[in-house]
Copies of this chain bind each other. A is one copy, B any other.
């Protein structure tokens, strides 16, 4: 383990992160909401801490190895999670303690979007902007993690995507390659965000709200500047903009990059995960839309389609924005929506969950097992798009899904120990581990009233989900720390 190097990298990250306190300061001055203080203090703390970690090792020239990657990535999200909590902890306008502040900050950075705040509409504009920006930055981090880092660490079968990482340095060392990939992807991310903000603005949001919601839409984060989320406007045009950009956020950004570079929408259609993803979404929308008509929640087909599409896109990508009180919808619909978040979005997207590619591989593997029962000596290759998936990748996928489900079940039981009923517990697991952010049952109105133990469990699950479990778990094996 290169602790000196890791300290240097972490220090550098904190220095860079400290500058993200500046846009909220600008917002505070612009609106004169008097909240620049907490951000300036947080800037100083983050900068100082960063320099303390960076300066002693700034001559360090060692190369980062794959194994260091697990530690750096885990530290990145957990340390920034705590530092990101500072403005809320310091500000008098946000009456939160340490537990709640870290919950909210980690919820932002992991693009979860679960909130312990209420009366959001009354918060200072700068603080609202800061929360949204946390999600946008988190989304940036996620994309680099998902597209460049996880495939190289080989987590959960993501080595499948090793050859498809954009950027010119296919077989280079870790650091320059990640930097190259990051740059290419962030341009795409930034461009889509700008388009999204303009679309929201054109559809009727204020410019401030349009920018803020573009941040939490593209990052599939789900924070809003209003307690009512998107129901604040209750406008079809705004909802449909949301649907489109949530779905875009739930797709592989390497695919966006490839489509943009090739100037061709065919790139999407040729991608097997994209097709599976859209197929799932359309199926969910049909199931929910039919239910809304059947139970007479919406009798007009356009209304049923709009609210079905919005909630499916929101839950399916784990965004967690809501256009209506979906938790109160009847019967199976809220359960189905919660379920969709377990599969989640595509690999390489800002969405979480187990990922569409893994669900698709598992579905094909199961069909192959059926065939093998009939022809025990037959050879059946497992294809995904043009590629034949090798057994090693498949085993990693199964390992991932097995551990994911096991942790989901264990934490569901643990949440019931804190006094939740089963619906609420399942919902809390989905909200945190799938980085979904919204709940049903007793947490349909937010997470302010759950026990502190439950809040810390959710914070842990947000990190676990975001780090694709294994990045985090591997740090707890003795083998990892052996030289």
| Contact of A473 with B by CB under 8 A | yes
| Contact of A328 with B by CB under 8 A | no
Within 8 A of B (CB), among A382-421: 391, 394-396, 398-403, 405-406, 409, 412-414, 416-417, 419, 421
Known: A67-B374, A371-B477. 5 other contacts (CB 8 A): A365-B395, A365-B399, A366-B406, A371-B479, A398-B398
| Contact of A339 with B by CB under 8 A | yes
Could you list some 8 contacts between A and B, CB below 8 A? A331-B416, A335-B412, A365-B398, A366-B403, A370-B473, A370-B474, A370-B477, A373-B474
A466 vs B405: C-alpha distance in the bound complex, in angstroms? 23
A318 vs B147: C-alpha distance in the bound complex, in angstroms? 44
Shortest A381–chain B CB gap in Å is 13
Q: What are the residues of chain B within 8 A of A372 when measuring CB–CB?
A: 154, 396
**Identical copies in the complex:** 2
Shortest A423–chain B CB gap in Å is 5
Q: What are the residues of chain B within 8 A of A339 when measuring CB–CB?
A: 409, 413
A254 vs B480: C-alpha distance in the bound complex, in angstroms? 40
| Contact of A369 with B by CB under 8 A | yes
| Contact of A368 with B by CB under 8 A | yes
Residue among A394, A395, A406, A422 with the most chain B CB within 10 A? Answer: A422
Q: What are the residues of chain B within 8 A of A67 when measuring CB–CB?
A: 374
Shortest A290–chain B CB gap in Å is 11
| Contact of A426 with B by CB under 8 A | yes
Interface bracket on A: 35 or more
Query: A391 touches which one: B331, B376, B391 (CB < 8 A)?
Result: B391
Shortest A454–chain B CB gap in Å is 13
Q: What are the residues of chain B within 8 A of A308 when measuring CB–CB?
A: none
Beta-carbon contacts of A439-483 to B below 8 Å, as 1s and 0s?
000000000000000000000000000000010011001011000
Q: What are the residues of chain B within 8 A of A373 when measuring CB–CB?
A: 70, 153-155, 470, 474
| Contact of A336 with B by CB under 8 A | yes
Within 8 A of B (CB), among A333-384: 335-336, 339, 362, 365-366, 368-376
Contact between A365 and B409 (Cβ–Cβ < 8 Å)? no
Shortest A404–chain B CB gap in Å is 10
Contact between B332 and A413 (Cβ–Cβ < 8 Å)? yes
CB nearest to A368 among chain B residues: B399
Shortest A253–chain B CB gap in Å is 24
CB nearest to A481 among chain B residues: B374
Contact between B423 and A370 (Cβ–Cβ < 8 Å)? no
CB nearest to A391 among chain B residues: B391
A153 vs B365: C-alpha distance in the bound complex, in angstroms? 18
Q: What are the residues of chain B within 8 A of A409 when measuring CB–CB?
A: 339
Q: What are the residues of chain B within 8 A of A402 when measuring CB–CB?
A: 362, 365-366, 398, 401
Query: A477 touches which one: B362, B374, B399, B417 (CB < 8 A)?
Result: B374
CB nearest to A409 among chain B residues: B339
